[in-house]
Structure 1
Amino acid sequence: MVEPTALVALALDAAIGWPAGLYRRIGHPVGLFARVIDACERWGNRPSHSTARRQVQGVATMTLLIGMAGGGGWLLQWGLIWALGPFGWIGVALLAFPALAQRSLYDHVAPVAGALERGDLPAARQAVAMIVGRDVDTLDEAGVSRAAIESLSESFCDGVVAPLFWLLALGLPGIWAYKAINTADSLIGHREERWRAFGWAAARIDDGANLVPARLGGALICLAGGGWAIMMRDARLHASPNAGWTEAAMAGALGVKLAGPVSYDGDKHDKPWIGTGRSDTNASDIRRALALYRRACLLLWMLAGAMLLL
């Protein structure tokens, strides 16, 4: 039941994504997770609370969030199977595909390349600001390009490989529990003083949930375009135990350097370079990265299809 569900979910996401009109009217399901996290953060992350108390309340928040997402997914999945019988997997696919981001990721990165190709750097900065958290106002063409490529490679894991992995492993409860975990990590799983204690559980659980998908995603990028040696050498240079695998794979496949010094909220962070070759990336490198991304997604489809055949 899971494997045809995965293929249909992939196809729906690639074909229509999450339509902008639908987003304007009802938002996206992860918006519900964000609201729950925000409410829990206001309750459990008060400055007056001790570090230990904030950490415990962060664990409670993640328990509530995962229980809500996974439990809701389980009820919906088995309700569909009970109601629709042998066709229940189709309903599961319809509820699973919004958790994937193949199309959305491509549609957010491609405009960055388009703006640079037109010579419109302000528009390129505005486009890349939609997908990265770093300061973009002072980025030159190379900085904008690197930011877009890094976001594409890291989000290949978070937005495509990992959700599909958990859909294949645990069905609808798995994919939506993963999306809840990943949403929490993006909102509160930070190292800054405000978030360190309360977001500790979110960051650690997200690390565990991405452990296998990140390495699978890196392997898929290398199968699509090479870069094995760079991935194996530089993956651990990233601050995240997982994000470096797909980023290093992309850097190796493209023959460029990614990461390096970057600013967040006015603070400069001297990140190590990942990869070898040019650091002066441009729009053509984004286009090459998008082509690699499409091939890696196709390989993921083939993997899901092979599981169905077996």
Structure 2
Amino acid sequence: MADPVALMALALDAALGWPQSLYRRIGHPVGQFARIIERCERRWNRPELPIPTRRRWGTVTVLLLILLVGGSCWLLQSLLLKTFGQLGWIVLALLAWPALAQRSLFDHVRAVALTLEVGDLPAARTAVSAIVGRDAEALDESAVARAAIESLAESYCDGVTAPFFWLLFAGLPGVWVYKAINTADSLIGHKEERWRAFGWAAARTDDLFNLIPARLSGLLICLVAGGGWRILWRDARNHASPNAGWPEAAMSGALGVRLAGPVSYDQVVHSKAWIGSEGRQACAHDIRRALSIYCRACLMLWIIAAAAWLF
């Protein structure tokens, strides 16, 4: 877009995040997406339906989200630009602002670092459980730090770079369609028996939408850190996701710590390959270093947004 929508949205998010006062009053837009997805899932993912049927209805759910969200945002964007002209970008930036998560991600990960730094491991486990899905009750200090850094790296893509990319590339429809698909992936894009067929389309579509942003995230992390390239190229594919490994491998290489590896979900240990296997164990100080890299990587997006506006 030829206006500073992306730049202003980044600035609003960095300054304010999504205030709790707003959340209490109106919730968050992704909550509306979740309600649509849950209604479709209850209606179309019944256990008695054949697997191919459930997969087709899951595909319909994804298409419905794209049409509803993309269509309504396109109409709204067109109306605003037609009504207010060049000033319409201000309202568009306000509408795009909630799709970004720079501030909230920083605050959540910083909370883990603060509790580890004062030696309060139970509080650190509680803080990290708010941003990861793994079992946190038995994690030691290193495992807590590793989980926080992994979440920061992966969410830099999902919560910042990808929404920014789609906002810059396709305006308001792009950023909110991405958020709708990403919400669907987080709710139904799982490999468990209940979700495997119905969530297949959501997972594959999310992979497609993150294809470029994930690689961009990895490149920006290595660029601002001044290193990590070798681990990025070598270990980016060690992750089960085709995309999450890129920012995680970049952060692993930049910090010199090992990430990923075996992890427990619902009391079941899952064997995962290490990323940066020769690196040392992570600690609280490494979370601080990761946050510093994260802030600089976010700043790179600001620079890209400014360049897109000016040139």
TM over 0.5: yes
Shift of 1:234: 0.2
Shift of 1:16: 0.5
CA contact (8 A) 2:121 2:140 kept: yes
Q: Distance in 1 between matches of 2:25 and 2:310?
A: 39
Q: Distance in 1 between matches of 2:155 and 2:204?
A: 18
2:262 partner SS: strand
Aligned to 2:51: 51
CA contact (8 A) 1:255 1:276 kept: no
CA contact (8 A) 1:2 1:171 kept: no
Structure 1 residues 153-232: aligned runs within 5 Å = 153-225=153-225, 226-232=227-233
Segment of structure 1 superposing worse, 289-298 or 62-71: 62-71
CA deviation string 1:60-112 (max 9, x = no partner): 10011111111111111111112211101111000001000000100110000
One-letter code aligned to 1:120: D
Cα separation, partners in 2 of 1:2 and 1:102, compared to 1, 3 Å: farther
Aligned to 2:89: 89
Q: Distance in 2 between matches of 1:164 and 1:300?
A: 8
2:290 is aligned with 1:281: no
Segment of structure 1 superposing worse, 17-26 or 122-131: 17-26
Cα separation, partners in 2 of 1:238 and 1:122, compared to 1, 3 Å: same
Q: Distance in 2 between matches of 1:144 and 1:47?
A: 37
Q: Distance in 1 between matches of 2:92 and 2:101?
A: 17
Aligned to 2:104: 104
One-letter code aligned to 2:250: A
1:132 partner SS: coil
CA contact (8 A) 1:227 1:250 kept: yes
Shift of 1:276: 4.0
Q: Distance in 2 between matches of 1:151 and 1:292?
A: 14
Aligned to 1:65: 65
Give the TM-score taking structure 1 as reference length.
0.98
Aligned to 1:137: 137
One-letter code aligned to 1:31: G
Aligned to 2:149: 149
What percentage of aligned pairs have identical amino acids? Answer: 66
Aligned to 1:305: 306
CA contact (8 A) 1:121 1:141 kept: yes
Shift of 1:277: 4.0
RMSD: 0.9
Q: Distance in 1 between matches of 2:117 and 2:3?
A: 40
* Count of residues in Structure 1 that have an aligned counterpart in Structure 2: 310
Give the TM-score taking structure 2 as reference length.
0.98
Q: Distance in 2 between matches of 1:70 and 1:217?
A: 25
Q: Distance in 1 between matches of 2:110 and 2:185?
A: 25
CA contact (8 A) 1:142 1:279 kept: no
2:49 partner SS: coil
Shift of 1:278: 3.8
CA contact (8 A) 2:10 2:100 kept: yes
Q: Distance in 1 between matches of 2:162 and 2:66?
A: 16
One-letter code aligned to 1:273: W
Shift of 1:188: 0.5
One-letter code aligned to 1:114: L
CA contact (8 A) 2:258 2:274 kept: yes
Shift of 1:22: 1.0
Shift of 1:147: 0.4
Shift of 1:309: 2.3
Q: Give ranges in structure 2 of 5+ residues lacking alignment.
A: none
Q: Distance in 2 between matches of 1:238 and 1:303?
A: 28
Q: Distance in 1 between matches of 2:209 and 2:274?
A: 26
CA contact (8 A) 2:2 2:308 kept: no
Shift of 1:2: 4.7
1:263 partner SS: strand
1:68 partner SS: helix
1:268 partner SS: strand
2:269 is aligned with 1:263: no
CA deviation string 1:145-196 (max 9, x = no partner): 0000000000000000000100111100000000000000011001111100
